[in-house]
Amino acid sequence: RGSRHMGRPHPEDGGGHDARNIRVKLVLLGDSGVGKSCIVLRFVRGQFDATSKVTVGASFLSQTIALQDSTTVKFEIWDTAGQERYAALAPLYYRGAAVAVIVYDITSPESFSKAQYWVKELQKHGSPDIVMALVGNKADLQEKREVAVQDGTEYAEKNGMFFIETSAKTADNINELFEEIAKRLPRPSDIVDY
Ligand code: GDP
């Protein structure tokens, strides 16, 4: 708390309370094709483009959200396209990540198994206080659903994760996903301020 804040509001921050700016590295994990890139594009650009596809290496985007308590959280989002090719680099990729978002496709039981593999990987090699979210994407495809909501809920509960179903296509629960993650972040002193 800066001394200038004592007692009266300051014009720069619009109030007399501390504004905290938190920056976190967030990694996306999950089978190819589950919608990781689309989730990021929907969150960052507000778009869904079924034809766009990042194909080379890892891409990086950032987006800042403001919470009600005047905290801002800047997500630095790491998305690996072609996960399999870069599997050997995975530990480098999630090192230093405060958040891991593990995505599966609700129409694909294989992708749900793969999500569980990533959870175990992170439990072994990730930071011990990493915030993990389990995301069942493509929730708009109800008629093709092959993974029950309850399966996701139960697995997440057992593993101390936050669970949500999303649709990058309809934008359903995309902002909610990131807002919930922001609320669960440990704060403030153990995260880099800028
Ligand atoms: P990634 O490999 O995990 O990054 O997957 P992409 O983001 O490239 O998406 C793979 C395919 O799934 C694309 O054809 C997308 O159009 C489609 N897709 C992604 N999200 C959704 C969604 O929420 N609903 C539906 N119906 N299709 C989606």
Quote the CA–CA distance of 4 and 12 in Å, as a whole number.
Answer: 11
Substitution site in 38, 107, 169 for ligand 1 pocket (most atoms within 8 Å of beta carbon): 38
**Token pair listed for 163:** 């669970």
Interface confidence: ipTM more than 0.85: yes
Q: Give the pTM.
A: 0.84
**For position 87, what pLDDT does the model report?**
65
How much helix, strand and coil, in percent to the nearest 5, is found in the chain? 35, 25, 40
Residue 22 CA from chain centroid, whole number: 15
What pLDDT, on a 0 to 100 scale, did the predictor assign at position 50? 56
What is the model's pLDDT at position 44?
86
pLDDT score of 3? 42
Show the ligand 1 pocket: residues with CB < 6 angstroms: 30, 32-38, 50, 53, 137-138, 140-141, 167-169
Crossing angle for the helix pair 149-158 and 109-125, to the nearest 10 degrees = 10
Q: How many angstroms does the Cα of residue 36 sit away from the middle of ligand 1?
A: 7
- Ordered per-residue pLDDT tens for the chain, 194 residues: 344 444 444 444 444 445 588 899 999 999 989 999 899 989 988 777 655 554 444 567 888 998 888 889 999 988 765 455 566 667 777 878 999 999 999 999 999 999 999 999 889 888 889 999 999 999 999 999 999 999 999 999 999 999 999 999 999 999 999 999 999 998 655 445 54
pLDDT of residue 94: 80
Q: How far is the CA of 121 from the centre of ligand 1 (A)?
A: 24
The alpha carbon of 182 and the centre of ligand 1 are apart by a number of angstroms equal to 24
**pLDDT score for 96:** 83
